[in-house]
């Protein structure tokens, strides 16, 4: 079964990740459901902090280290995009 194609919002968040963290990969190669940490994109806690700051600047969504469901939020580009969409300031 084919994976769901990325939405425009997911592509935008993936681009923010690549740009913010200066990843040496095209956005088109990022799988939206792949883990952001560990075996997926291989991000670490410093990356999460930088990404949180970029998300706050771009979308007005604050992701704090004490956010209860941060593991679920940062699970993948898709989960992060859903969280941003639900919490972004208009």
pLDDT, one tens digit per residue, over 41-86 is 999 989 999 999 999 999 999 987 777 788 899 999 999 999 999 9
pLDDT level of residue 1 (50, 70, 90 thresholds): very low
Lowest mean pLDDT among 17-21, 23-27, 64-68, 80-84: 64-68
Residue count of the chain, please give it: 90
Q: What is the pLDDT of residue 65?
A: 76
At CA 67, angle to CA 77 and CA 41, rounded to 5? 25
Domain count, the chain: 1
Taking the model in full, what pTM does it have? 0.90
Assign residue 69 the CATH number of its domain: 1.10.1200.10
Beta carbons of 77 and 30 less than 8 angstroms apart: yes
Structural domain of 21: 8-25+35-87
CA distances from 8 to 20, 66, 82 (A): 18, 29, 12
Query: HSE-up of 13 (CA within 13 Å, CB side)?
Result: 27
């Amino acid at each position: 079964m084919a994976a769901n194609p990325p939405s425009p919002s997911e592509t935008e968040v993936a681009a923010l990740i690549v740009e913010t963290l200066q990843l040496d990969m095209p956005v088109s190669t990022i799988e939206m459901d792949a883990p952001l940490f560990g075996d997926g994109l291989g991000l670490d806690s410093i990356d999460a902090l930088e990404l949180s700051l970029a998300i706050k600047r771009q979308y007005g969504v604050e992701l704090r280290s004490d956010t209860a469901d941060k593991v679920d939020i940062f699970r993948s580009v898709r989960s992060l995009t859903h969280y941003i969409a639900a919490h972004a300031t208009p």
